[in-house]
Amino acid sequence: MRSSFLRCCLLLALLFQMISCAGAPGPVVIERPLRLNPGDTRCLAPFPDGEWQLVHSIHVALSGVSQTTLVGVTALDSMTGAVACVLMTVEGMVLFDARYDGEIHSRRSLPPFDSVAFARGLINDIRLMFFPPDGRLVASGRSGDGAFICRYRTADSMTVDVVVHEDNGWEIRQYDRDDSLIRSLKTDPDSRPAEKGPIPSRLKLTASGPAEYALTLDLIEAWELGK
Amino acid sequence: MMTSAHRFFSVILLLAAAGMCVGWADTWEGIQKGTGAIRTIKADFIQEKHLSILSKPFVSKGVFYYQAPDSLRWEYTSPVRSILLMHKGKMRRYTETGNGLVEEAQMDPQGMQIILQEIALWLGGRFSEDPTFAATLKEGHKIVLAPKEKGFSQIIQHIDLSLSDTPGIIQSVAIYEGQDSFTKITFQNAAINQEIEEALFLEIS
């Protein structure tokens, strides 16, 4: 039974390393381009401002099959871009504990979560969820269904679309150098309960490619520090 | 001036207090005797997860059932529903997925499996049989468990058990993973030796 668990964890760890590009859909078509305005707050709407401590339950599905539920604890600072994260079982056993301040500093990582690639993949996912994309704004406008899109091009030639729908739901789509979708992050419309501030109550991250995984993050606690 | 009667009464009070201190939890023999009388336990628990990156602990609540010698149902009711069942050496885990509780067919709760097996040993007072931890009895109704293998201490540094005044009952468990990371589980409303249906250890409903 334990070996099954380890195999599954290993698969999850590998998936963070294997995300690739084959056959995934390309960027959303911007039908009505707008003048570029990097300061447009609509592009920044999905991202929390300030210092936050978040606790999520994280349901993990590999290739569409439900696997397990973990608890994720994340501390964010939008000013510095610093991240601290802990991944643990529901029972409180810490599996992974790391900080990011431009570099990743691992404090605890139990096998199979102990590879550099896993740490990098996890930090990248967290940054995709909670921080505006690194890189320059290269296009913005509206899609055919009226969604507002900000398109960023990163230093490593990846493309990130921040898509804010008219019903207040939003998604973040990350494409590789070939413009194939590799990550999609979605939230439900009106999923920001007032008592929990700007943090959505549910986030769904899908990693596309030959080795797919999906994470459903349900918000348990959100504290804004200094408030 | 204190009368003889007062003096005598004072001595009686002192002896009574001393008797309470030299209770079931002060010797291994007392602990084994206290736990030996336990057939079943049902108790609520509150779990606090302390992490350096959290300004206040993450709190979970639940209920557990124990039946000697080694059946356990460890059930979280909030905020994330999860049930661990351990019966006759088999262990299963169910977690909330958004579509109700679903058995995790492939994933085994790594650390908790060890802890649940430990809890079954502790509740049975079988500290000397523990293959993973060496137990030391401390003052103040406390047992400290240290990993026997050095490698395991990188996962769990030590576990502190606080014993209740009620014979056979553990008041709290603190599991230390590091200096600033630990889990404290406090038990409440313990009911001892009441009938518990075996089905509770086999099924989640």
Q: Is the pLDDT of residue A163 over 90?
A: yes
Q: Which pLDDT belongs to residue A13?
A: 52
Choose the weakest-confidence range: A76-80, B102-106, B162-166: B102-106
Share the mean pLDDT of chain B.
Answer: 82
Full residue range of the structural domain in which residue A6 is found: 2-224
pLDDT at A21: 38
B chain contacts of residue A218, beta-carbon cutoff 8 Å: 98
Residue A163 maps to which CATH number? Answer: 2.50.20
Q: Do the chains contact at B54 and A89, CB–CB below 8 Å? A: no
Nearest CA-CA distance, residue B187 and chain A, Å: 15
Kindly tell me if the per-residue pLDDT of B11 is higher than 50. no
pLDDT of residue B112: 62
B58-77 average pLDDT score: 94
pLDDT band per the 50, 70, 90 thresholds, residue A51: very high
Report percent pLDDT > 70 for chain B: 84
* pLDDT tens profile A66-117: 678 899 999 999 999 999 999 998 889 899 999 999 999 999 998 878 889 8
Amino acid B96 reads: E
- Mean pLDDT in residue range B171-184: 92
A168 touches B: beta carbon within 8 Å: no
Residue from B64, B83, B107, B181 to probe the interface with A (highest A Cβ count within 10 Å): B107
ipTM over 0.85: no
pLDDT band at A24 (very low <50, low <70, confident <90, very high): low
Number of domains composing chain A:
1
| Partner-chain contact A91 B115, CB within 8 Å | yes
Direct distance between the N- and C-terminal alpha carbons of chain B, in angstroms, rounded to an integer: 67
Does position B52 have pLDDT exceeding 80, yes or no?
Answer: yes
Q: Chain-wide mean pLDDT for chain A?
A: 84
Q: Considering CB atoms only, which of A66, A92, A94 is closest to B102?
A: A66
| Stretch 174-203 of chain A: residues touching chain B, C-beta under 8 Å | none
CB A10 within 8 A of CB A16: no
Of A68, A84, A83, the residue nearest B103 (C-alpha) = A68
Q: Do A67 and B106 touch (CB under 8 A)?
A: yes
Size of interface A-B (CB pairs under 8 A): 107
Q: Do B108 and A66 touch (CB under 8 A)?
A: no
Q: Per residue in A25-43, pLDDT tens?
A: 678 889 999 888 877 888 8
User: Given B53, B98, B110, which is nearest A75 (Cβ)?
Assistant: B53
Output the pTM of the full model: 0.84
